Structure 1
Amino acid sequence: MSPLAVQLYSVREQAAVDRRAVLRRIAEIGYGAVEPYDPHVDPVGLAADLEEAGLTVCSVHGPLLDERRASVLAAAAVIGADTVIVPMAPAEWFADLGGLELAARSINEAAVEAADHGLRLGYHNHWWELEQQVDGRPALEVLAELLAPEVLLEVDVYWAATGGVDPSALLTRLGERVRYLHVKDGPATKEGPMTAVGAGSVPIVNALTTAPDAVRIVELDHCATDMVEALADSHAYLTGLIAAGRVSP
């Protein structure tokens, strides 16, 4: 069982003031892992702060499709990650098949270099990969077929719902390629503030039961309430689901 994790983009403002304190608080809440979004900025310092807090790294986001790729891959090794995730690709790449082929080439190229460093590589979606369709299908699903088999997927259930797709149905169609889930909640709109997991309109339970083996990472891009309190409430909700037997550990 993988520990519940937090995407550190959620606490970017708090970490800018006192990263060590924020990481300690995440651990106190009960999270066991984090997903950094900028590991190449200060990998040595981040590794030390994570060790002090007793947190592991489940994966990392970083700019893997440009000239910063090498620094992200090197940083991943320093902080003990085995998986790097492309956080997004330009929305225009998902407008037609030609754009998807460009996206696939770019991501597959990054995956080869990641493998040379002993790392797996994945792709994380926003809403535009689902909202836009190619040949009558959500563009993300077409992209998945163009990606090399070793490229995994990190499905953001909130952005999937925002893009007009049922998250559970999407997870079913994508199957075992989905190794990570971004678990977030709120009104499922592009601009509206998010909420603690369990307090919004996203069908969280259905998504978790559809992909029971995927690593669960809580991320709230911005929040209607205090962010740290929302992370604590999210942890309580998710662990409550597990305790009640509604989702698997």
Structure 2
Amino acid sequence: MTSPVLSVQLYAVRDGLSTDLDGTLARLAAMGLRDVEAFDFIDKAPALAESFAQNGLRARTGHASLMSEGLELDDPAFASGKAPAPPTQDTVFEAAKVLGLEIVIDPFVAPERWLTEEAVLDNALRLNAAAEKAADHGLRVGYHNHAQEFNASFGGVSAYEFFASKLRDDVVLEVDLYWAATGGQDITALLGRVGDKVKALHLKDGVIGDNPFRPGAPRMDASTLDQRPAGKGDLPLLDYLAAAPETEYGVIEFDHYAGGDIFDGIAESVQYFNAHGLS
């Protein structure tokens, strides 16, 4: 099987970061983690970089909006104008360089933008343009899925795979295994089809429920998600790692953890992957 670098998406410990940045990162480092995946880093890059260095951590991947730059504020992606416009791509990339990132990954594009071939092609063109700009900063870009990318298909190909087929060679995919399974995908087959574009996996386990991103679904309540430490849910994560041999980063993440202390859930996952050769 492959041996990507083991990481953790800091969104999982967002509450701790907001109250005790250094202490939260120190707890992750004490688990043996050396890599993390950043989020919400645009205005916090200097403080994060300082704390990473203090705790012996590095972030080579990070999440930030890239494909939504330039959309009108009444676009559904911004909740009918209630959310502020995202930072410009140049602002994102400048912060990414401060933090030492190598890949900036767009973590979410609204379900409405995956329902037509025209909209999905526009998503791909936007990300390709971001990749061209990122290259000027010495960075790569990518996309992280949820389940909405699998709601529609065009000519027998899911919107996600159609999107992937239109991306530049230097644009990467970060496949969230839990959400792809929630979207009804045969994960092993999907990873085989999108191939070497997959450079990161979100190693998220749990019990797969209804797709909260399907058309007409009520707004997702994250507290209803049954996400569990690696090896405790429905997903054969080790098989999926073997099916994605070009993966560079295996990222532990929880959108919500009902099993008690989130740090215990992360530690269980770290121990599981360490026991199977990932560190």
> Does structure 2 conserve the Cα–Cα contact (< 8 Å) formed by 1:3 and 1:31?
no
**What corresponds to 1:56 in structure 2?**
58
Per the normalisation by structure 2, the TM-score is 0.84
SS where residue 222 of structure 1 aligns?
Answer: coil
Higher helix share: 1
Detail structure 1 runs of 4+ shifted over 6 Å in the superposition: none
Per the alignment, residue 224 of structure 1 pairs with 258
Separation in structure 1 between the aligned mates of residue 4 and residue 52 of structure 2, nearest angstrom: 17
1:245 corresponds in structure 2 to none
Tell me which amino acid in the other structure corresponds to 1:124: H
Percent identity over paired residues: 37
Matches within 5 A, 1:165-176: 165-176=185-196
Q: What is the Cα deviation at residue 6 of structure 1?
A: 0.5
Match of 2:115 in 1: 95
Alignment deviations for residues 81-109 of structure 1 (CA, whole Å, 9 cap, x no partner): 11111112121221121111111111111
Within 2, Cα distance between the matches of 1:25 and 1:3?
Answer: 19
CA contact (8 A) 1:131 1:164 kept: no
Cα RMSD between the aligned structures? 1.5
Q: Distance in 2 between matches of 1:126 and 1:133?
A: 16
**Match among 184, 192, 197 for residue 225 of structure 2:** 192
SS at match of 1:44: helix
In the other structure, the counterpart of 2:46 is: 44
Letter of the structure 2 residue corresponding to residue 97 of structure 1: E
Deviates more, 1:164-173 or 1:188-197: 188-197
AA matched with 1:188: I
2:270 is the counterpart of 1:235: yes
- Contact between 1:97 and 1:134, CA under 8 Å: does it hold in 2? yes
Q: Which residue of 1 aligns with 2:245?
A: 212
* Contact persistence 2:196–2:246 (CA under 8 A): no
Q: Can you list the C-alpha shifts for 1:46-90, whole angstroms capped at 9, x where unaligned?
A: 000000110111211012232512221111100111111111212
Offset of 1:2 from its aligned partner?
A: 4.6
Aligned residue for 1:122, secondary structure, equals: strand
What is the CA–CA distance in structure 2 between the aligned matches of 1:155 and 1:161, rounded to whole Å?
10
Equivalent runs, 1:80-119 vs 2, <5 Å: 80-119=100-139
Q: Distance in 2 between matches of 1:172 and 1:2?
A: 17
Q: Deviations over 1:113-151 (max 9, x none)?
A: 111111001111111112332222221111011111211
Report how many residues are paired: 244
Structure 1, unmatched stretches of 5+, are 243-247
Distance 1:220 1:134 in 2: 31
> What are structure 2's unaligned runs of at least 5 residues?
70-85, 213-223
Picking from 33, 36, 39, the partner of 1:34 is 36
| Structure number with higher relative contact order (C-alpha < 8 Å, ≥ 6 residues apart) | 2
Question: Are the counterparts in 2 of residues 185 and 199 from structure 1 also a CA contact under 8 Å?
Answer: yes
Give the corresponding residue for 2:176. Answer: 156
**Structure 1 stretch displaced more, 139-148 or 185-194:** 185-194
CA distance in 2, matches of 1:132, 1:187: 23
- Counterparts of 1:142 and 1:63, CA distance in 2: 20
Shift of 1:213: 3.8
Which residue number corresponds to residue 4 of structure 1? 6
C-alpha deviation, 1:228, in angstroms: 0.7
Q: Distance in 1 between the 2:5 and 2:196 partners?
A: 19
Counterpart of 1:206, as a letter, is D
